[in-house]
Amino acid sequence: MKRALFTTPQDAEAAFYEAFEKGDLDAMMGVWADDDDILCVHPAGPRLSGVEQVREAWRQIFSAGQSLRFRLRQQQSVNGMTLAVHSVYEQISVAGEARARGPVIATNVYMRTASGWRMVVHHASPTPSAPESDSKRAPKTLH
């Protein structure tokens, strides 16, 4: 199977959430770097290291057969020539559930490789409360 070439970290991130929503394990692993240094932490889960552990965790998640939808909010990113760090609030809804679940905050790290941008870290944690709206956030201050 030929892997997609993601020309930007944003392309890789879009493919990550698309694969997540579709429950497509091959597409999900196509976003990740083919490296044993990759890391993944699902909400309240252990740190998974390496392609085998990450793949198995996604296989287990997708085997539940839930139809998930993501709405990303308050996206912030730091992008460099070879590394990009994205922080997002994931508002997750599950087909058949009347209300969306509480938001999850995720940090996604992408690295530019010889085969395009690839995910190297996904770390997601439940948030203690709903995030502030963009208009209520305090301005950034550099020290």
In the predicted structure, residue 142 carries a pLDDT above the cut 70: no
Closest CA to 68 of 109, 31, 24, 120: 24
* Predicted pLDDT at 66: 77
Rounded to two decimals, the pTM is: 0.83
Q: Residue 68: which pLDDT band, with cuts at 50, 70 and 90?
A: confident
- Looking at the domain assignment, is residue 94 inside a domain? yes
Q: What CATH number corresponds to the domain at position 94?
A: 3.10.450.50
Residue 76 has pLDDT above 90, yes or no: yes
Count of structural domains, the chain: 1
| Per-residue pLDDT reduced to its tens digit, 2-57 | 678 999 999 999 999 999 999 999 999 999 999 999 999 999 899 999 999 999 99
* Residue 93 β-bridge partners: 69
Domain membership of residue 133 (yes or no) is no
